[in-house]
Structure 1
Amino acid sequence: MDAEIQASVDRGPAELVRLRVGHRSAVADWLLSALSESSRRRAIEEWERHGLAVLPLGTLFSAVRLPGSLVLAVCGGSMPSVEADQFLDEALDGGPVICDPRGRRYYALVPASMPRTRHQAAEEWRTREVDCLGRCVYLGVPRPDVDRPDAVSASYWSVPLASAATLCRPLTVARLIAAGWRALGNAADAGVEDGP
């Protein structure tokens, strides 16, 4: 356990709450840092009203859109589910993931350069409904404290940002995609449906 977190636990629940609020504030500041002042105000209002703000990709981070069927083929379960969230947390080494239960997809947040540096892989992925999203694309990003599905927010953090600028490693995401394709292929070979 991180020494700062352990010290907060030792000092009591109020100190732990303060630490969590400070962490969420730092994450929110980082997520909003690529925006102009007026866009920042708009995003904060969207978070307050809807729990979700539309943020540009390709500056601080990009995203890999994963169909729910691919993720569920590897981990089983349903969407959304605690099991799927825990699986993604482990499979992506704690890298941040957004779940869109209504659209039945996940977004793994990756370095902003990934669409350019992994261009060939991204082209291949697109044929399988996986898309690497970068510049000129906007993503609905949940408020940092929305970490479970609810009736208000359209999306939630399946795996919350551990800290500002801590993203999924591209190779780890690629391995998850490959495992998902293998699992979907095995299910199709066995005559089983691809899932939801």
Structure 2
Amino acid sequence: MSSHVPNHLIYAWLARGHQDPDQAQAEWNDDLGVAMLPLGILIAAVRLNGDLVRAATGTDDPGQIAAKLEETLDGAVIYDRDVYYALINGHAGLIWDMEKAAPCLGDGVYLSVPVLRRTAGPGPHWVCRPRREGDLCRPDAVRKLIAAGLLALHPAEC
């Protein structure tokens, strides 16, 4: 039996937090292929700057970074303008405790969410594409990644 989940189910899950899921689908279908989705309802996003992620993964190579993020975070990650957005459960975002190092974006914030086929730039793209509905990063794994990055960037302070 195949474990492949049809894309339309993943799109439906991603759009569920939008006040008009059909609008999100239309935005994915337009020329830009990016939907503006509100955060905080179902999904929150931890904003990880590129320097922190490169330090945590020990590489500058985008392919190696993607592989390490997929292995360590085991959930969906978007990249846009040298920022990685680790998608987490919206409820976990309410109690996020690492705001100084990596803020969690939630209520009142919209995130550019690319069409699933976009796995390279230019523009927002998936570093780790969702494989199924609810395929979010574990908050504890994101915290560990941040701690590793901070230790690599500022060893004297940790």
Partner of 1:111: 89
Unaligned segments of structure 1, at least 5 residues: 6-18, 190-196
1:175 partnered with 2:144: yes
Alignment partner of 1:34 is 2:17: yes
Native 8 Å contact 2:77 2:127 kept in 1: yes
Superposition CA RMSD, Å: 1.8
Bigger relative contact order, structure 1 or 2 (CA pairs below 8 A, ≥6 apart): 2
Match of 1:157 among 94, 101, 126: 126
Distance in 1, Cα, partners of 2:125 & 2:67: 14
**How many residue pairs are counted as aligned between the two chains?**
155
1:1-196 mapped onto 2 (5 Å cutoff): 3-5=1-3, 23-36=6-19, 39-48=20-29, 49-78=31-60, 81-92=62-73, 94-100=74-80, 103-118=81-96, 121-122=97-98, 125-126=99-100, 128=101, 130-147=102-119, 149-151=120-122, 154-186=123-155
TM-score in terms of structure 1 length: 0.73
Identity of aligned residues (%): 34
Residue aligning to 1:194:
none
Displaced runs of 4 or more, over 3 A: none
After TM superposition, the score normalised by the length of structure 2 is: 0.89
Gaps of at least 5 residues in structure 2 are none
Larger radius of gyration: 1
Q: Distance in 1 between matches of 2:33 and 2:77?
A: 16
